[in-house]
């Protein structure tokens, strides 16, 4: 693994006109931009959701929970998020082809890479999240804190996760997608920003009713994710591709089943609601 790192570093340095200090500096600025964007998006939606924050603040131990959530947001984004983004950008991403920059081919390739990262992220997040719920020891260690937001879920809950969960479920899927897809830094940044925004959106209760009506069935709606917070064992997918529904759809097609609608979706939804 260390050898692979050295090889990738060598490749990066050979292809780049920047010296190693400049490469690290650029990557750090990129990481800080990502984390600051996450904070800004969360802050805007949080201000819009002040009624939810107020209700949460009033619940038993609500004050402590809210303050811990805010601390986790900062620790995850800046202490963990920035360095891991820097490592992914420097060691895992491929250098852009300067000659083809801004060409139609480069833009198409970038769009396909973004799509690849988003699909790879959705699949990995789905299975890691499901495993958290299926193994009680993992649930207690990594994921239980995020589910303390069950009655009132403010947008800041999106990144109010333990450091272990942030590393495994939030960062690792991007790192593996970047490494396997040999994507460029702009594609990685674009996919991360889309995920950041959608992750905050699926934790915004004001969008719940609207999302139920308008979000296509193969995307994750705010209603889906808030239902997951309440019921625990339904709707594991988040925040973009609705892997739960896609898997049900594929299974139904294989079994020559009939239609799929939001009232009959997700693993175990029926058992929980009965
Ligand atoms: Zn959540
Ligand atoms: Zn969960």
In tens, the pLDDT along 3-51 reads 444 444 544 544 555 678 888 999 999 999 999 999 999 999 999 999 9
Q: How far is the CA of 143 from the centre of ligand 2 (A)?
A: 7
Question: What is the pLDDT confidence band of residue 263, given thresholds at 50, 70 and 90?
Answer: low
Mean pLDDT, range 86-98, rounded to an integer: 89
Tell how far the Cα of 229 is from the centroid of ligand 2, in angstroms.
6
Q: How far is the CA of 229 from the centre of ligand 1 (A)?
A: 6
pLDDT value at residue 257: 56
Residue 269: the pLDDT is 42
Of 84-98, 121-135, 141-155, 250-264, the one with minimum mean pLDDT is: 250-264
Q: How confident is the model at residue 254 (pLDDT cuts 50, 70, 90)?
A: confident
Q: What is the pTM of this model?
A: 0.84
Measure 158 CA to ligand 1 centroid, in angstroms.
5
User: Any idea where the domains of the chain sit in the sequence?
Assistant: 2-273
* pLDDT of 53 above 70: yes
Q: Which ligand is nearest to the CA of 134?
A: 2
CA 16 – ligand 2 centroid, Å: 41
150 alpha carbon, closest ligand: 1
**If pLDDT is split at 50, 70 and 90, which confidence band does 73 have?**
very high
Residue 261's pLDDT band (cuts 50, 70, 90): low
What are the tens digits of pLDDT across the range 104-139?
A: 888 999 999 999 999 999 999 999 999 999 999 999
Ligand nearest to the CA of 203: 1
Which ligand is closest to the CA of 235, given by its number?
2
Ligand 2 centre to CA of 102 (Å) is: 40
Give the mean pLDDT of the chain. Answer: 88
For residue 46, report the distance from its CA to the centre of ligand 1, in Å.
15
pLDDT at 141: 97
Q: Which two tokens stand for residue 39?
A: 């904070």
Measured in Å, residue 105 CA sits from the centre of ligand 2 at: 39
How far is the centre of ligand 2, averaged over its atoms, from the C-alpha of 190 (Å)? 25
Å from CA of 237 to ligand 2 middle: 9
pLDDT higher for 210 or 104? 210
Residue 197 has pLDDT above 50, yes or no: yes
Measured in Å, residue 22 CA sits from the centre of ligand 1 at 37
The rounded Å distance from CA 157 to ligand 1 centre is 7
Sorted by sequence, the CB contacts under 8 Å of residue 36 that are 6+ apart come out as none
129 C-alpha vs ligand 2 centroid, how far in Å? Answer: 6
Q: How confident is the model at residue 267 (pLDDT cuts 50, 70, 90)?
A: very low
């Amino acid at each position: 693994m260390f050898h692979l790192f050295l090889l990738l570093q060598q490749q990066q340095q050979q292809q780049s006109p920047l010296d190693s200090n400049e490469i690290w500096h650029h990557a750090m600025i990129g990481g800080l931009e990502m984390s600051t964007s996450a904070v800004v998006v969360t802050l805007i939606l949080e201000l819009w959701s002040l009624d939810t924050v107020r209700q949460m603040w009033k619940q038993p131990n609500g004050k402590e929970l809210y303050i811990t959530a805010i601390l986790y947001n900062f620790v995850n984004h800046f202490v963990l998020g920035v360095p891991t983004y820097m490592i992914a950008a420097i060691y895992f991403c491929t250098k852009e082809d300067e000659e083809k920059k801004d060409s139609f081919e480069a833009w198409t390739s970038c769009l396909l890479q973004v799509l690849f990262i988003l699909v790879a992220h959705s699949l990995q997040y789905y299975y890691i999240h499901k495993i958290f719920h299926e193994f009680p020891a993992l649930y207690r260690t990594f994921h239980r804190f995020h589910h303390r937001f069950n009655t009132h879920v403010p947008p800041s809950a999106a990144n109010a996760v333990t450091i272990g969960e942030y590393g495994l479920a939030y960062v690792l899927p991007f790192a593996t997608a970047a490494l396997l897809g040999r994507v460029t830094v702009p594609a990685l940044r674009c996919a991360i920003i889309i995920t950041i925004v959608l992750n905050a959106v699926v934790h915004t209760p004001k969008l719940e009713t609207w999302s139920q009506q308008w979000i296509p069935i193969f995307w994750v709606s705010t209603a889906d994710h808030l239902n997951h917070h309440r019921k625990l064992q339904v709707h594991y997918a988040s925040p973009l591709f609705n892997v739960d529904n896609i898997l049900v759809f594929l299974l139904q097609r294989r079994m020559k089943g009939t239609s799929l609608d939001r009232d009959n979706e997700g693993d175990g939804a029926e058992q929980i609601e009965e």
